[in-house]
Chains A and B, each alone.
Chain A
Amino acid sequence: MSVKQEISADIEQYLKSQEEKGMLRFITCGSVDDGKSTLIGRLLWDSKMLFEDQLATLASESKRVGTQGGNIDYALLLDGLQAEREQV
């Protein structure tokens, strides 16, 4: 049974199981432009943690300011600040 089916079938049970969950802490270390944000962005993408409006914004921002030649620039999911995007 997929997670979504599980949620639809029995939300109370799902919530109970979520209450027992532990927390994962995750850090990336590296120099400027090593790909810290890109890695985290890609993990969010692969784990399907993004909403449609966020994906739409990501696609249009990638075209406008991305560094991947029009392809999805995963770093833009995290580097939301204009100030950060100015870094070359």
Chain B
Amino acid sequence: MIEKHLTHLRQLEAESIHIFREVAAEFEKPVMLYSIGKDSSVLLHLARKAFHPSPIPFPLLHVDTTWKFREMISFRDQIAKDYNLDLLVHINEEGVKQGIGPFTHGSALHTDVMKTESLKQALNHYKFDAAFGGARRDEEASRAKERIFSFRTETHRWDPKNQRPELWNIYNARVRKGESIRAFPLSNWTELDIWQYIYLENIPIVPLYFAKERPVVERDGMLIMVDDERMPLNEGEVPQMKSVRFRTLGCYPLTGAIESTAATLPEIIQEMLVAKTSERQGRLIDKDQSGSMERKKQEGYF
């Protein structure tokens, strides 16, 4: 009966909190993957709510590719300090030693080594048996039919043909030693839900989401922000100051900005509602080819 009075955002919130508590109760060593983006901000907010007034009963893990926007890193450290979080940061040192980066090795290899491999290293090292992620079903076709408790083999592989049945809110938490699950509390949220919830709950997000004058260059039809001196400029290429913001955040060389003057949350939501393109359009790594996200997921990418 109470449900009648819950708005859709409150229902989504309740569902996510239930998932957090279920995983915390059923697994020995959970971790929350924290990517610093808007979905991670909502995920963190929900995790804090789920266990309040106790601290979050598991650590956060950021897989740092060393190519994130500088503002993302300072935001991460500030949030960890403000909320007194147990934040683990993992960098694939092997990749760093080999000098792997998106400019020199291309987006596919960079993502594979610095993100997918790096995540697997961290999961193996800490022996986590459950990892929360902020993926949403509306993001990408290969995520559309992902379970909320997504089973992974000992080698972190995801087999789309061998998924467990998941009936309503009954989750199967049985895993053998070495096997694990990825849990997605935001599965049923849409991009709009995320923004509305950030607005409603006043959740802090990285300032890069708000429009500001930033130095950008145009590459393959995408506006790439020149975030540090590692970005090689082509001959005659001069960074221009443009009022831009980001719809999603990742590695700065792989994340396209959009021209915008939206500097407040309502303005961002307003722009999004009349937008004609999806948020993933600004992500270079999705466009390698159709099915590329699925392949990355099978190999252990989030």
Chain A positions within 8 Å of B, measured between CB atoms, are 4, 7-8, 11-12, 14-15, 18-23, 51-54, 57, 61, 76-84
Contacts and interface: CB of A to CB of B under 8 A. Distances in A.
A8 to B, nearest CB: 7
Interface string B258-297: 0000000011011001111110110000000011001100
A54 B278 contact: yes
A15 B201 CA distance: 13
Given A22-B8, A23-B11, A82 B276 contact: no
Contacts of B294: 80-83
A77 B142 CA distance: 10
Contacts of B12: 23
A78 B141 contact: yes
B267 A51 contact: no
A12 B8 contact: no
A40 to B, nearest CB: 10
Determine the interface band of chain B, counting residues with CB < 8 A from chain A: 20 to 34
Main secondary structure of the interface of A (DSSP, over half): helix
Contacts of A11: 266-267, 269-270
B230 interface: no
A4 B7 contact: no
Contacts of A20: 7
B144 A78 contact: yes
B7 A22 contact: yes
B285 to A, nearest CB: 15
A19 B7 contact: yes
A26 to B, nearest CB: 12
22 contacts: A4-B273, A4-B274, A7-B270, A7-B274, A8-B270, A11-B269, A15-B196, A19-B200, A21-B7, A22-B7, A23-B8, A51-B276, A57-B290, A61-B290, A76-B141, A78-B141, A78-B145, A80-B141, A80-B145, A80-B294, A81-B142, A82-B291
